[in-house]
Chains A and B, each alone.
Chain A
Amino acid sequence: MSAGEKIDLFTQMVRIRRFEERCIRSYQQGKIGGFCHTYIGQESVAVGSISVLDKDDQIITAYRDHGHALAVGMTMNECMAELYGKFTGCSKGKGGSMHFFAPDKRFWGGHGIVGGQTPLGAGLAFALKYLDKKACSLTYLGDGAVNQGAFHEALNLCALWKLPAVYIIENNYYSMGTSLLRSSAGESLAGRGIGYDMEYEVANGNDLYTVREVTARAVERAKKESLPTVLEFQTYRYRGHSMSDPETYRTKDEVEEKKKFDPIALYQQYLLDEGVLTEKQMEEIDEAAKKEASDSVDFAEESPFPPEEELYTDVYVNDEIYLAKHGQA
């Protein structure tokens, strides 16, 4: 990586964190409703893995999707506005926190049902292979999703049909309030791939360099050999499962201990040691991210809600009969 690329990845991680912190504030102020799952503590996983992709590679994730959305290049404005349910949001306010989409940036969501996106990721890989593209899909899921049947069906199909798919389990050790030990049998989560003869790897997800290296290996396998891989990146979320989580299932000490392995702090130290960035430059990047996040809140608050006419649009492509039925023709 060039120094410029390294700085860009640092900037992306900082932007995600500052964006999420502003989300939390707006949520606590009652301006954002519904569910809101923040990505704080896991930034290195999305940023590192997406950074090794080429332009034809496709990305899909679950409901903790703000980080991936920013990492693929969606703007803070369109994301924040979506959280506010505003018309200027990426889905015109029809998707919300869990359902961000940007197909023009090869980002296919943002999916609310645990594990429900895992067959879709296989489908993206199927499509790439069908069209003879030398590309792969990255499908993210949480540690809780490994126990969904859909995930196993998807793995079997990927292995059976040799699809260029990479599954990334972001293991933050809690599926909502249930710890890994209370939810998942077996030694490793990525090891679920063994039953399907899939290559798998477990790595430190908080180390951006490690994430890049491990993901790059899997991506290369997908493109060169058309074979799937399951990766497990061990990481940690500092905040609750969602904003409404009282976090009675873990101690404050545990969270504080984990913060010692913060992905941004770790990467920051690498860049300082390498002489790529000075502390002053880092502060400038941080200030800029804070301002960008703060501006996105202003943008969201000033944006209009979707007009009533939007209610019945985007249900169907061929929607003449539907609209007529609802007096919208």
Chain B
Amino acid sequence: MQKVTYRDAVNQAIAEEMKRDELVCLMGEEVAEYNGAYKVTKGLLEKFGPKRVIDTPISEAGFAGLGIGAAMYGIRPIVEFMTWSFSFVAFDQVVNNAGNIRYMSGGLIKIPIVFRGPANGGVNVGATHSHTPENLFANFPGLKVICPSNAYDAKGLLKAAIRDDDPVCFMENTKLYDHAMEIPVEEYLLPIGKADVKRKGADISRVGHGRGLVTALEAAKLLEEREGVNAEVVDIRTIRPLDMETILASVRKTNRVVLVEENKPYCGVDAQVAFEIQEKAFDDLDAPVKRVSALDVPQPFSDPLEKMVLPDAERVFKTCLEIL
């Protein structure tokens, strides 16, 4: 085992896949000479050279589209958005070109591309830079969306995403980049479309993704310490395809569920998860499905206000008490 941060796990995944396959290249703003705006791509230019690790101008629509065009022809680009907030100026490229071309060509074309970068709030940068658009991109059939919550998942899922022949939106989190954990030294991949039970419990289910999952785990501790309640925590990991079986199995065991996400609530990811739970496990529920998400406002700049917007362990804890 090796202790690595989420940041280095992403770096390892990219480096291993670039070493394995010469068709894999990396492009984005500041990924090469600057070593990445968040140092995720540190050292990759030195390892693989400027042909394969490419600094782009600030032209998200241009380089996202360029990556898609190259992917159509067989290159396997990893396109970094410095943050997913900046993907909005490339929205047409990701949605219409990466997401639709396979279908519109009747399956003649595949687009093996990964769009990746952090997508989170909580870093005091205001509304334009704090988007969590996993729900937006997951709305489009043709795209896959992954939101890993820890270093182990980030590495295994990113390697799988790079090898996947479909376009994948891979959303990291700057607040998690420094989180370290033990992961295997040996190579491993994780399947896309498989949720993971991060904590076993019998009394209540907590379902989350990304940093929402970390918050759910923190709240599980509070519940145990303060109330003696044993919560199960399920990590969605991939938003699309969504592994409802694992989520439903947990709900059927505990009969109570609180969904936790940093996504905004309106038409958010957990609106979909809640719908599917009520549809498929209605009779197993002893209480309404509850949600804890970011609050329904643009991200405020002021630190105390932003803290109120983001879900935290106390809010999750209180919400759990409402249905226990």
Give the residues from 84 to 100 in chain B that come closer than 8 angstroms, CB to CB, to chain A. Answer: 92-93, 96-97
B103 proximity list for chain A (CB < 8 A): 94, 314-315
- Point out the residue from B59, B71, B72, B166 that lies within 8 Å of A153, measured CB to CB: B59
Among the stretches B32-40, B104-112, B198-206, B302-310, the one at the interface with A is: B104-112
Q: CA A119 – CA B60 in complex, angstroms?
A: 10
A118 at the interface (CB under 8 A from B): yes
Q: Which residue of A is nearest B51, CB measured?
A: A130
How many angstroms from the CA of A121 to the CA of B73 in the assembled complex? 11
> A126 — which chain B residues lie within 8 A by C-beta?
66, 69-70, 75
Cβ-defined contact, B108 with A157, below 8 A:
no
In the complex, what distance in Å separates the CA atom of A248 from the CA atom of B25? 50
B196 touches A (CB below 8 Å): no
**Chain B residues, Cβ within 8 Å of A93:** 106
Contact A123 B73 (CB under 8 A): yes
Chain A nearest CB: distance from B229 CB in Å? 32
Residue-wise interface mask of B (58-70) relative to A, using a CB-CB cutoff of 8 A (1 in contact, 0 not): 0101111111111
Q: How far is the CB of A130 from chain B (nearest CB, A)?
A: 6
Chain B, Cβ-Cβ closest to A100: B105
Q: How many residues of A contact B (CB 8 A)?
A: 53
Query: B102 contacts A123, CB within 8 Å?
Result: no
Other contacts beyond A123-B73, A153-B59: 12, CB < 8 A: A91-B104, A113-B92, A120-B68, A120-B72, A120-B97, A126-B66, A126-B69, A150-B61, A150-B65, A153-B63, A314-B106, A315-B103
A–B complex contacts, Cβ < 8 Å, 29 sampled? A58-B73, A60-B69, A91-B106, A92-B106, A94-B104, A95-B104, A95-B105, A108-B72, A113-B92, A117-B97, A118-B65, A119-B61, A119-B63, A119-B93, A123-B66, A123-B67, A123-B71, A124-B69, A125-B69, A153-B65, A157-B56, A157-B57, A157-B63, A314-B102, A315-B102, A316-B166, A318-B165, A318-B166, A321-B243
- Taken together as a complex, chains A and B put the C-alpha atoms of A94 and B103 apart, in Å, by 7
Is residue A265 contacting chain B, with contact meaning CB distance below 8 A?
no
User: Chain A contacts of B92 at CB under 8 A?
Assistant: 113, 116, 150
Contacts of B256 in A (CB 8 A): none
C-alpha spacing A111/B66, complex, angstroms = 15
Instruction: Identify the closest chain A residue to B89 (Cβ).
Output: A149
Question: Which residue of B62, B102, B106, B165 contacts A90 across the interface (Cβ within 8 Å)?
Answer: B106
> In the complex, are the beta carbons of B61 and A128 less than 8 A apart?
no
Q: In the complex, are the beta carbons of A153 and B62 less than 8 A apart?
A: yes
Q: How large is the interface on B (under 10, 10 to 19, 20 to 34, 35 or more residues)?
A: 35 or more
- For B65, B72, B144, the residue with the greatest tally of chain A CB atoms inside 10 Å of its CB is B65
State how many angstroms separate the Cβ of A178 from the closest Cβ of chain B.
Answer: 20
A101 to B62, CA, bound (A): 22
Pick the contact of A130 from B56, B75, B141 — CB < 8 Å?
A: B75
Most buried by A among B102, B107, B141, B144: B107
Q: B140: shortest Cβ distance to chain A, in Å?
A: 10
List residues of A (58-112) whose CB comes within 8 Å of B's CBs: 58, 60, 89-96, 99, 101-104, 108-112
Q: Decide: B97 and A103 in contact? CB cutoff 8 A.
A: no
With A and B bound together, what is the CA distance between A109 and B227 in angstroms?
61
Assess the B72–A124 pair: CB atoms within 8 A.
yes
| Contact across chains for A160 and B65 when beta carbons are under 8 A apart | no
Q: Are the C-beta atoms of B101 and A109 separated by less than 8 Å?
A: yes
CA distance A150 to B60 in the complex (A): 9
> Are B109 and A130 within 8 A (Cβ)?
no
- B241 sits at the interface (CB 8 A): yes
CB-CB contacts below 8 Å: A118-155 with B: 118-128, 130-131, 137, 149-150, 153-154
CA distance A272 to B110 in the complex (A): 46
Contact B73 A127 (CB under 8 A): yes
Taken together as a complex, chains A and B put the C-alpha atoms of A322 and B59 apart, in Å, by 32
The distance from the CB of B290 to the nearest CB of chain A, in whole angstroms, is 25
Return chain B residues, CB-CB under 8 Å to A92: 106-107
The answer to the question of A204 belonging to the interface, with a C-beta cut-off of 8 Å to chain B, is no
B59 touches A156 (CB 8 A): yes
Assembly CA distance A91 to B100 (angstroms): 12
A237 to B22, CA, bound (A): 45
Cβ < 8 Å to A, chain B residues 103-129: 103-110
CB-based nearest A residue for B71: A123
B164 at the interface (CB under 8 A from A): yes
CA–CA, A102 and B109, complex, Å: 9
Closest 9 CB pairs of A and B: A123-B69, A119-B65, A153-B62, A120-B69, A92-B106, A314-B107, A127-B73, A101-B105, A317-B165
Provide the residues of chain B in CB contact with A280, threshold 8 Å: none
CB-CB < 8 A to A321: which residues of B? 193, 241, 243
Known contacts A126-B75, A157-B57, A325 near B142 by CB under 8 Å: no
Is B74 an interface residue when CB atoms closer than 8 A count as contact? yes
Please, which residue of chain B has its CB at the minimum distance from the CB of A322? Answer: B241
How far apart sit A225 and B75, CA to CA, in the bound complex (Å)?
22
B71 with A101: CB separation less than 8 A: no
Residues of A within 8 A of B56 (CB): 157
Task: Decide: B75 and A127 in contact? CB cutoff 8 A.
Answer: yes
Interface contact B104-A127, CB-CB below 8 Å: no
The chain A residue sitting closest to B238, CB to CB, is A321
CB of A313 within 8 Å of the partner chain:
yes
Q: Which residues does chain A contribute within 8 Å of B141, judged by CB atoms?
A: 315, 322
Those of A295-329 within 8 Å (CB) of chain B: 313-318, 321-322, 325
- Taking the closest CB of chain B, its distance from the CB of A104, in whole angstroms, is 8
Known A316-B166, A318-B164; contact A154-B65, beta-carbon cutoff 8 A: yes
Interface core residue of A101, A126, A153, A154 (most chain B CB under 10 Å):
A153
Q: How far is the CA of A102 from the CA of B265 in the complex (A)?
A: 42
Tell me whether A122 and B62 are in contact in the complex, defined as CB-CB below 8 angstroms, given that A101-B108, A321-B193 are known contacts.
Answer: yes
